[in-house]
Structure 1
Amino acid sequence: IWLLATMGNIPRPEFIGIAEKGGNIDVLVQALSGVLNSRSLDLLLVVFSNFAVASSFLGVTLGLFDYLADLFGFDDSAVGRLKTALLTFAPPVVGGLLFPNGFLYAIGYAGLAATIWAAIVPALLARASRKRFGSPKFRVWGGKPMIALILVFGVGNALVHILSSFNLLPVYQ
Structure 2
Amino acid sequence: MKSQSLDAVCVVAGTTIGAGMLGLPMAIGFLGFKVSMVLLLVMWALAFYTSLLLLEVNLQVGTGLNVNMMVKKVLGRWGQIIAVVCLGFLLYAVLVAYVTAMGGIIASALGVSGDAFSTGACSVGFTVVMAVIMFCGTNAIIRFNSLFFLSMLGAMAIAFATLSTTVDVNVLVNVAPDYSYLIGAVPVLFASFSFHFCIPSITSVVGTDTRQLVRIMFWGTLLPLLCYMVWLFLSLGSVPMDQIVNMSGSVDALIKSMCNGSVVIQTILSIFAAFALITSFFGVALSLFDLMAETLRRTNSAKDRIGTTLIVFVPVLVAALLAPGGFIAALAHAGAALAVICILLPCAMSYKLRSEAKAAARKLAYMTPGGNMGIATAAVCGVVILVANYV
TM-score normalised by the chain length of structure 1: 0.65
d(CA) in 1 for partners of 2:246, 2:277:
21
1:117-128 aligned within 5 A? 117-128=341-352
Please name the residue that 2:383 is paired with. 155
d(CA) in 1 for partners of 2:350, 2:356:
10
| Distance 1:118-1:69 versus aligned 2 partners, 3 A rule | farther
The total of aligned residue pairs comes to: 153
Higher relative contact order (CA 8 A, sep 6+): 2
Tell me the CA shift for residue 74 of structure 1. 4.4
| Distance 1:119-1:44 versus aligned 2 partners, 3 A rule | same
1:67-78 aligned within 5 A? 67=291, 72-76=295-299, 77-78=304-305
Aligned partners of 2:247 and 2:253 also within 8 Å? no
Tell me the CA shift for residue 157 of structure 1. 1.9
Please name the residue that 1:94 is paired with. 319
| Distance 1:78-1:36 versus aligned 2 partners, 3 A rule | closer
> Aligned to 1:16, which of 229, 235, 245?
245
> Aligned to 2:254, which of 19, 31, 49?
31
Which runs of no fewer than 5 residues in structure 1 stay unpaired?
A: 169-173
| Distance 1:151-1:95 versus aligned 2 partners, 3 A rule | farther
Q: Describe the superposition over 1:17-60 as per-residue Cα deviations: whole angstroms up to 9, x where unpaired.
A: 333xxx3xxx3133322342222212112222233344444444
| Distance 1:160-1:63 versus aligned 2 partners, 3 A rule | farther
| Distance 1:116-1:132 versus aligned 2 partners, 3 A rule | same
d(CA) in 2 for partners of 1:60, 1:31:
27
TM-score normalised by the chain length of structure 2: 0.33
Aligned partners of 2:347 and 2:375 also within 8 Å? yes
Please name the residue that 1:136 is paired with. 363
> Aligned to 1:114, which of 323, 330, 338?
338
SS of residue paired to 2:353: helix
Tell me the CA shift for residue 79 of structure 1. 6.8
| Distance 1:54-1:101 versus aligned 2 partners, 3 A rule | farther
Please name the residue that 2:15 is paired with. none
Tell me the CA shift for residue 120 of structure 1. 1.6
The amino acid of 1:36's aligned partner reads C
> Aligned to 1:4, which of 233, 258, 269?
233
The amino acid of 1:6's aligned partner reads S
Aligned partners of 1:123 and 1:150 also within 8 Å? yes
Aligned partners of 2:292 and 2:312 also within 8 Å? no
Aligned partners of 1:120 and 1:151 also within 8 Å? yes
Which runs of no fewer than 5 residues in structure 2 stay unpaired?
A: 1-229
Aligned partners of 1:60 and 1:114 also within 8 Å? no
SS of residue paired to 1:31: helix
Aligned partners of 1:60 and 1:111 also within 8 Å? no
